[in-house]
Structures are given as structure tokens and as C-alpha cells.
Structure 1
Amino acid sequence: MQKIIPAILLTISTLLPYNLTVAQSKSAIPAEAQKAAKNVRPKTIEAHMRYLADDKLAGRKPGTPGYDLAAQYVEKQFIALGFKPGVATPGGATAGGQNGTFRQAVPLRKAQVREEGSSLVMIRGGQAKGLTYGKHFIFSPNFGKPISEVTAPVVFVGFGVSAPELGYDDYAKIDVQGKIVACFNGAPATFPSNQRAYSGSAKAEVAAARGAVGLITFSLPTDVRARIEANAPRNRQATYRWTDAKGQAQRTFPQLAVVASLGDSTARLMFDKAPKTFDEVRKAANLGQAQAFPLPVSFRAKTQTDLADGLVGENIVGLLPGSDPKLKDEYVVYVSHLDHLGVTPDRRTDPVKIAGTSADSINNGAHDNASGVAINLETARLLASLPKAPRRSILFVAVTGEEMGLLGSDYFASNPTVPKASIVANLCLDMPFFFHPLLDIVPYGSEHSSMKGAVESAAQFVGVQIAKDPIPEQAVFMRSDHFSFVRQGIPAIYIKSGSTTGDDRDGTKLNLDWRATIYHTPQDDMNQPFDWSAAARHVQLQFLIGYLTAQADIRPVWNQGDFFGTKFGPLTKGR
């Protein structure tokens, strides 16, 4: 990969300003904010990215020296901008106090299924059939105990979704107490994209809440990506969860003694002599029809899990105090994940030979997500350059463990360094995609709250159009750190580039091709054809949306009757 010269703290004043052309509008954006937005510096964004994606950081995996170098770099940028530490020391100052620190520790638990000690047996009519790990089934680890065993009958519950607010509930007419529930992956295609993504991810939570003792999922025949054959390598890797002050792993459901994925042919066996055939339930699922009935099988399952505590990730938190005597106690939070995948173990070679090559084992994570951190750092510079700080305080958080499952952002949103009820909004940036001019944007989440107004004002000023999600099947709304804030009842948005390129290229195809060939590989380095003017426009949008939110008299609110606002709000309830 491209070898970068040793980086030192950027002396921002030495970088020439770049007055990016913006659309002239009659918006209510104050003159000082307009001036700051026009002073964005693409070279600064590039410099941040070049350091964070350097080989010497070895892919920024949490718990490694490379991640610590990245954390030190972000700290130095905060200090240079005059930001205060955003984390209180025990018994010390409040968040942002002079005696605080920029680092929030995130305790993590590692869990990995021990295949040789795990088993799944299908029982039908008194006859037991042992299944093969990796071929017929794969287990998820149990974060609560090293040995988990259960024998129970199986109940089919459609998609395993309970969403009465959307007129759909697979559990409405069946009791699953003490049963193993079996269901399709995903959610009804009739659901709106974001609601469908959430519902498809909440199966374990729903099953546990209704008293089930196990969960078995399998894919629709058309959903090739969800099959265990496609996911076996990834699913066999260790997984992580953050732990609370009592050492309990979070976002886990210990009452589910088994959580398994079945291969297609094995799933079909469950429906032999069932009230409905596999093809009948498949057709009903495709029509969005709720369904549930007992299956003529039981399962005997044993999951052996290797558990390890001791890994501690770190979020880096910087504070720009607000200027309004009352509103300064409310916070707008910018977040971007600092971590990436580290070094690919099965491709590791001599580190001396690694440096400077394009086929090495280092997952540099230039776009994912050195780009988001770099853009947010430049956004922080613009906010700090204002003659008067915004009325509300601003927190910038570079989070850890996103690649492990949004762990750092979920920890921060669940255990914020300021009162949770005082966080009014979140802006996330992750792989914004600036490989072509930024002419339109997809502001994920803006349709759910009053933040839509700030997005529209910023887009008008910058001169970009607002587009619909071109790839709803990718479930983008669920796949980055803003969703950790949504879970806590906090309105959040996540902006990515749209598909318009200004030439004969198809932006959606570019995006999908990148995901298919570069995403999560060592090729995500600084040799890619980044459009730095497009990156600068992302800065302007981040700056203006956050600024307008921080200046407003009224904090953002969820839209009346919104699915996520109803499920996770109001804010004071938390999650």
C-alpha cells in the first residue's frame, strides 16, 4: 500500500483555505456561518485521512497500538482546536471539565463458539438426526455462560416479527413460552425500508420477550446472501459485546439457550408433515402474511462458547461548550467510527514486505472510516472558527468497535458522558462515498424527525439535491452508529452521497461495485480516486446541519406517530 510519511499534528493555519462554491440562497443561515462553511479546506480532510489510513496504524483494530495511534491523533486535533475533554474522571470534574480526559473506556467481552463441543439434533417421531456444524447449521455464541443446553419443541413464526403498529404480528395468535421459535430471515417486503431493516434485526429480542427458549432462522430461497453457506466464514469468527458495570454483556438474550441459523435443505426438513408445506409458508411470507403454527419436530441443542473479558476499547470525546446560558447544557453529538479491521490474519506476511505494497494484509480503512473521522474533524474546525460558539454545546465522538457491531456508539449512547436527556440530536458519518461530485444526498433518518428542516436548509445552501435511498435492500439505516442513538430515543441522521455523478457514470453502480470489490479489503486505501471537493461539501453539510440544530430555540422532535419515535421515545425513557 501507499507508504505515507510520518504524520505530525496538522498545523491547520499552514494549509491554504479552499472557498468551495456554494449555492446562493435566501436561507436564514447567519453570515458568520456562511463564511465558516465557505472556508472548508479539502487538503485538511485529505491530510487527516492519509494519517489515519497509513500502514503504520495497521488497520486501527481496537486494542492494538495502531488504534491507540489513531486515538492520540484525534486527541491532538481536539486540543489544537481548543476543545475540552469530554469525559469526566472518577470523582473529578463534570464532562468537559478541565480535570477530565478525552477517552471513554468501553469494556468488551469476546465470545466464540467451540464447534467440537457444540451439537444440534433434530427429533421427529422419536427418531433423532444429528446435524453437521457449518453444513446444516451454525450457532451464535452464548455471552452468558460457556455451556448452554436445551431440548424443546419448535414453533414456526413466519418472519418472527411483531409490529402491530404496521399491521403485522407473527406472534398474535400463538404461545411460544418454553418453545424454540423458527422463522425466516428478514421482514415483510411490504414494510417501509427502515422499519423493515429494524424488524428483521429484532427477532431475538422479540422471541425472548415472549418466553421462547431458542431461536432458529433460515433464509428465503431468493435471499442468497443470508444463507449459512455465504455467511459461514464470518459467522465462525469471534463476536463481541460491551459489558455494564456489573459485568453483564449487553444486547444479548440469555434466556435463549440456543440461537442458530439453518441451511436451506435442513430448514425444509422441519416442514415435512407440518400443517403447511415449506413452499406454502414461503409464498405467504412473500405476500407479507403473518403466520404461526407448531412444527412436528423438536431440537436438542448444546452450545459451547469460549468467553474472554479484558479487551477495552476507547471512544474519543471532545467538547465545544455552548454559548447560551441555558441551552449550553444541551448537546448536539457528532459521531464517526475510528476503528477498522486491522490485519487480515490469513494473509499476513513479513511486516517489512507489507509496507508499500498494494496486495498486503493491512485493512487500512481509508473510506471505512478514516473519511468520516476526517470530515468530522474538519467540521469541528469550522465550528471552532466561529466568532461565537453555537448556543448548544457540541460533542464530537470518535467511536470504537463499529466493525464489531456498533459497540462503541451503543456504549456511549447508553452511558453518555453528559446527561442522556440533554442530548438533543446525533449526526453520523460513515463511508459517505465521495468518488464522484456530490450533487445529491440521501439523508438517512431525516424523514423521522424535525431534523429534516435543518437538512433541507443546509442542502439548499450547499447546492445539493435530496434523493431517495437508491439501495434500500442494503438496510443502510441500521448499519451505522447513528442507530445507537435512535435506540435511545434521540433523533439522528446519517448522510451519504446520492447517485447523480454529473456525467455518464451510474453512481449507484459505482457504490455497489465498490462494496463488492473494495469494501472490507486491503484495497480500501489512499490510492482510490477520492473527489476532495465532494468531501468538502460533506463537511459543509455536517457543519450547517449541526450548527442550525445547535442554534434552534426548540430541540428536534420525532414526527407525530413515527415508528421509531414511538418505539424508542420519548427521550426521557431511554433504552
Structure 2
Amino acid sequence: MTYSKQTFLYTAALAATLLTGTLPAWAQDALNQIPAEARTVVQTVRPEAIRAHMGFLADDALEGRRPGTRGFALAANYLQAQFEALGLLPAGDNKTYRQAVPLRRAQVNEAGSSFAIVRKGSEQPLEYGRGFVLSPNFGKATSEVTAPVVFVGFGITAPELSHDDYDKIDVKGKIVAYFNGAPTNFPSNQRAYYSSTSKLENAVAHGAVGVISCSIPTDLRTRMEATATRLRQSQGVTRWVDKQGQAQRTNPELLGVATVSDSTARALFAGAGRSFDDAVGWATRNTPQAFPLSVSVRMRTQTTTMPDIRGENVVAVLPGTDPVLKNEYVVHVAHLDHLGIGKPVNGDSIYNGAHDNASGVGILLETARLYTSLPNRPRRSILFVGVTGEELGLLGSDYFAGNPTMPGSMVANFSLDMPFFFHPLLDIVPYGVEHSSLSQPVGIAAAALGVDIAEDPIPEQTVFMRSDHFSFVRQGIPALFIKSGFKTGNPQLDGRKVNLDWRGTIYHSPQDDMNQPFDFQAAAKHVQLQFLTSYLVAQADTRPVWNKGDFFGNKFGKKKDVK
């Protein structure tokens, strides 16, 4: 990736930041672009306020803030009250602070569902939960399909990266099988995109009627047997519903969508021209591949659809002052929801979501307070949104990004989700920085605060697709998703280990509560980064743009502004 010279001037010499003293002369040009009033306001950040917001939102009384529950309603009321106290104006539906987000959940009825391998007229039925799991079908109470199976590698068509697993093979009317993930030689964010539900959309585009996904044996995170996969299946799937009452992003053309175990995947390959292990070898060498398997599969999916629930986004605005630019919005987003009450772990069944994502909401609120402390409002308007349903599939942000409540256009998005502050904030990974002109303001802000910028240290986690910023990218809006890097300043503390251990033991568990070693000074620096970066965007003469020839800019950037 390429940045300007000033963006790379992040050395230890920047310990003398704008908050504590003068900067080296070589960085002064960048810092001169931060007006004095912003430099003054940013010094008033309050770590204790972030702690207080998190303490309320992650309290057991809110019962994990699952959408549609009393706990989420309490969290939404709290966020609205804080917005009102700051003097922010309502920016939701009908001049309120709320945007209704209708949500519909569907769940597979395991007893009425089945999966069988058909070989030479003989059927081999498999056991639900051991050999396979199915995704619900929102359009049909019972969906059935029997068709030949074609293996299509990773199931990816990426001409810009010279990779097409569907090249020279016809899958119309067939079931496609593919590996989870994407080639390791793809750039990090493109790898994240092609590892996502874009695979389902691609299968539909090629005429497939069903999908079977499986994992490369070394990819433990996406295996069907993984706890997270089974948990999601047991809780069902939720989608937002449009004004015509139709659940969205459901791919109704696919009559069966299955995830299978390693043993089932190997059985599907039996008798094919290439073995399962050979296909794994081709995949690990990032080589496109496609060939028919010598079997058909019969899938039957029985789906129970639950009554819709009312999800809510909480939306507030600080109006801009420029007669023209006030109709352009810089959007700060953090998801308000978490997982609610679930399976007990060590005697605790409340999934409090302190770091995921009471932390992001606390940082958003303190960022909003800095904005309202300015002696002069910025030129562009600033939107602050607490979204629902992130844990259910980025639902609230997807709904808001496609159905904005304010006239005008959203020009930039900054999302906060698990920013990681378990050690001093010495470097950041601003996901999305290489795609747009947002690299300049975040570079200036990082320089001002003595923070290095690092590349994605864990591309295998496909972080770029996994939070609310991507809902805005999908609508053609440049976005940044800023998380802590691995530098700790302590040779005895391995930042990578801290991060991965947390993800492996605390993430999405009841132990994500306030009894964790948070560094609230680091959280305060996240506030400063968010504020300074977006302030520079709000004051600029021109709106952010996608870089010329950028992957996401080409794919989504031509969408028209919603008026």
C-alpha cells in the first residue's frame, strides 16, 4: 500500500505530541492542518467517562442487550438520553432519535430437514449437527432440491485478481461445493470480501440452485464443528425486512444451503477425478479449480419463521454550518447490541459485551462530546448512530446505510467495534485506509498523537467484512474501521498474543464484562483519533474519494447519493 510522506512519519520522536508539547519540525506541516480549536478540545477527553458509559451498558441489568429485549431498550434509552444531554438533535424517523428496523428470524427445524449423498441410485443420509447443518430459507416453509454437485474451489470470481473458480464450467441447475475462505495471496481486505456471503451471490449469478461449504482442515475457525458456527445455527438467522415485508439478502434462488463436516466433505469427493486432499493442495497454492463430483445431493430444509421484532437504531446529528456542505454527513457508528442471555459459561449466562461493543459506544459518546465542546460547529454535519443487530449480521447498519434518515449524502463513515485497549495505544490498523483519500486525515491525526500505522496483522480473521463500516462501503461510502495494533511498549507483553488469546477465550462469552484489564487512557486516545480524523473530513473543501482504480471504489463507488 502507498501513503504520502507525512503519513509515514510515525517514529518514537512523536512522543512529544500536540497534547504534551511541540512536534519535530518535519511533522509540523501535517499538524498545521489541525485548527487550534480542535487541538484544544481534544485535550479535554475523559477516560473516566468512557469507563462510566461502558459500566452502564455492560451491567447485568441490561441482560446482554439483544435486539428486541428489555435490555436493548434500556441501552437505546440510555444512548438517546446522552445524545439529548449533549444537545445533539434527533435525526431518526419523524424527527425522533429512533429509526425502526424490522427484523425477522428464521430457524431450521432439524427434525424435518435432511441431507443425503446420492451415488448410483443409492442414498446415504447424514445426521444433522454431525455431518451437516443447513441455513433457513426465508421464502419457503419447506424447500427441497436434488442436483449433481460441482466443486468450485473457493467459489470465487475475481477477475481483477486473475482468479475465477467458475472458469469453463457450467453449474446451472446444480449444487456447488466450495471451501470457506479465499486465496492467501489476495490482499487482506479483498480476501475478507471474497470470504464473505459474496460467495452465495456469485453462486446465484452462475445459476446454481444450492450451495455446500466446507473448510480446509487447517482452518479451524470456520469448521462446521466450531462452537461459533453451531451457536449461530442454533439461534437461527435474522434479516431486516423491507417496506414490502420481504426479508433482505436471503438469496431465494438457492433452494438449499449447507455447511458440512470434514468427513462429509471427504465423502462427497469419493470417486471424483481429484481427491479431497488434492483439492486442498490446489487451494493452498491459490490455484483456481473446478470439476464435477461423482455424486448428487438431496437437501430438504424445513424452516420456522418467527414473528417480526422491532429493532431500533438511535440517531442524532450535529448540524454543519456551511450552507452547502451541511447537507453532507460524516457518520460515526457503533453497534449497541450484543448476544443477550445464552448458554452459561463458568456459571454466568449473561453475555455482557463490555468490549464488544459497549466500548465502541462509550468512545462514540465521548467523541460526540468533543464535537459539542467546539466553539464553532464544523462545516459538514456529523451523524452519530448506535445501530442494532450487528451481531446478527450487520443488520442495523445495513438498513441505515441503505435507508438513511437524513436528506443529503453521507460522505464518510467511521465505525467503532472492539477497538482493543488492553495496553497503551502505540499503533493502529485503520482498516480501509488504502482504499480512499481518508488515508490523509487519519495519517495527520495519527502523527499528532504519536501513533504508528500498521498493516493488518491478522488477515486470516477477515476483519474488514466483520463490522458495520462495511455496510457503508457497500453503499459506495469511503469508511475507516480503526483498531489497535500489536505494539505494547513492553517487551514482556506480546500484543499479538493478547489479541488472539482474547479472541480465543473471551470473545462472545459471558466473560466479556467489566472485570477485564482495560487501559482507559488507550481508549481516550481512540476518541482523539476518531475526533481529529473526522473533524478534518468535516472541514475539508472536498469530500473523500475512492482511490483511482480501487477495488471497492470500482465495485460500489458508483452508487448515487440518496437524496
Superposition map of 1:374-523 within 5 A: 374-419=362-407, 422-504=409-491, 505-523=493-511
| 1-structure distance, mates of 2:452, 2:46 | 22
- Conservation of the 8 A alpha-carbon contact between 1:21 and 1:38: no
Q: 1:523 to 1:328 in 2, by over 3 A?
A: same
- Conservation of the 8 A alpha-carbon contact between 2:410 and 2:561: no
Q: How much is the aligned-residue C-alpha RMSD, in angstroms? A: 1.5
| 2-structure distance, mates of 1:346, 1:442 | 33
Pairing partner for 2:191 from 193, 196, 202: 196
| 2-structure distance, mates of 1:260, 1:361 | 29
String of CA shifts for 1:367-388, please: whole Å, max 9, x gaps.
1111100011000010111111
What is the TM-score with the length of structure 2 in the denominator?
A: 0.93
- Conservation of the 8 A alpha-carbon contact between 2:195 and 2:462: no
**Residue of structure 2 in register with 1:43 after alignment:** 48
| 2-structure distance, mates of 1:522, 1:221 | 29
Q: CA deviation at 1:524?
A: 1.3
Unaligned runs of 5+ in 2: 1-17
**Residue of structure 1 in register with 2:96 after alignment:** 101
Pairing partner for 1:531 from 507, 516, 519: 519
String of CA shifts for 1:433-466, please: whole Å, max 9, x gaps.
1111111111111111100001000001111111
**Residue of structure 1 in register with 2:12 after alignment:** none
Q: CA deviation at 1:415?
A: 0.8
SS in 2 for 1:469: coil
Superposition map of 1:291-370 within 5 A: 291-346=289-344, 359-370=347-358
Q: CA deviation at 1:142?
A: 0.8
String of CA shifts for 1:340-389, please: whole Å, max 9, x gaps.
11112556xxxxxxxxxx95321211111111000110000101111111
- Conservation of the 8 A alpha-carbon contact between 1:274 and 1:296: yes
| 1-structure distance, mates of 2:145, 2:22 | 63
SS in 2 for 1:252: coil
SS in 2 for 1:572: coil
- Conservation of the 8 A alpha-carbon contact between 1:434 and 1:497: yes
Instruction: Please identify, of 316-325 and 269-278, the stretch whose mean Cα deviation from structure 2 is larger.
Output: 269-278
Larger RCO (alpha carbons 8 Å, 6+ apart):
2
**Residue of structure 1 in register with 2:249 after alignment:** 251
| 1-structure distance, mates of 2:214, 2:387 | 32
- Conservation of the 8 A alpha-carbon contact between 1:339 and 1:402: yes
- Conservation of the 8 A alpha-carbon contact between 1:185 and 1:226: yes
Aligned: 1:57 with 2:72: no
Unaligned runs of 5+ in 1: 1-18, 90-99, 348-357
Q: What residue identity is the alignment partner of 2:134? A: F
Q: What residue identity is the alignment partner of 1:57? A: L
Q: CA deviation at 1:72?
A: 0.9
SS in 2 for 1:432: coil
**Residue of structure 2 in register with 1:174 after alignment:** 169
SS in 1 for 2:355: helix
- Conservation of the 8 A alpha-carbon contact between 1:489 and 1:569: yes
Paired positions, count: 535
Q: 1:284 to 1:535 in 2, by over 3 A?
A: same
Q: CA deviation at 1:171?
A: 1.2
SS in 1 for 2:191: helix
SS in 2 for 1:191: coil
| 2-structure distance, mates of 1:120, 1:88 | 44
| 1-structure distance, mates of 2:475, 2:189 | 16
**Residue of structure 1 in register with 2:552 after alignment:** 564
- Conservation of the 8 A alpha-carbon contact between 1:23 and 1:462: no
| 1-structure distance, mates of 2:511, 2:214 | 32
Pairing partner for 1:132 from 127, 150, 175: 127
Superposition map of 1:147-296 within 5 A: 147-201=142-196, 202-230=198-226, 231-296=229-294
Q: CA deviation at 1:573?
A: 7.6
What is the TM-score with the length of structure 1 in the denominator?
A: 0.91
- Conservation of the 8 A alpha-carbon contact between 1:22 and 1:461: no
SS in 2 for 1:37: helix
SS in 2 for 1:72: helix
**Residue of structure 2 in register with 1:371 after alignment:** 359
Residue identity over aligned pairs, in percent, reads 64
Q: What residue identity is the alignment partner of 2:78? A: Y
Pairing partner for 2:35 from 30, 34, 45: 30
- Conservation of the 8 A alpha-carbon contact between 2:181 and 2:194: yes
SS in 1 for 2:266: helix
| 1-structure distance, mates of 2:343, 2:355 | 21
SS in 2 for 1:396: strand
| 2-structure distance, mates of 1:266, 1:345 | 28
Q: What residue identity is the alignment partner of 1:331? A: Y
- Conservation of the 8 A alpha-carbon contact between 2:93 and 2:100: no
Q: What residue identity is the alignment partner of 1:454? A: P
Q: What residue identity is the alignment partner of 2:223? A: R
- Conservation of the 8 A alpha-carbon contact between 1:20 and 1:39: no
| 1-structure distance, mates of 2:308, 2:134 | 24
String of CA shifts for 1:223-245, please: whole Å, max 9, x gaps.
12222222334322212010111
Q: 1:45 to 1:22 in 2, by over 3 A?
A: farther
- Conservation of the 8 A alpha-carbon contact between 2:19 and 2:449: no
SS in 2 for 1:149: strand
SS in 2 for 1:502: coil
- Conservation of the 8 A alpha-carbon contact between 1:359 and 1:523: no
| 1-structure distance, mates of 2:134, 2:208 | 17
Q: CA deviation at 1:297?
A: 0.9
- Conservation of the 8 A alpha-carbon contact between 1:82 and 1:384: yes
SS in 2 for 1:544: helix
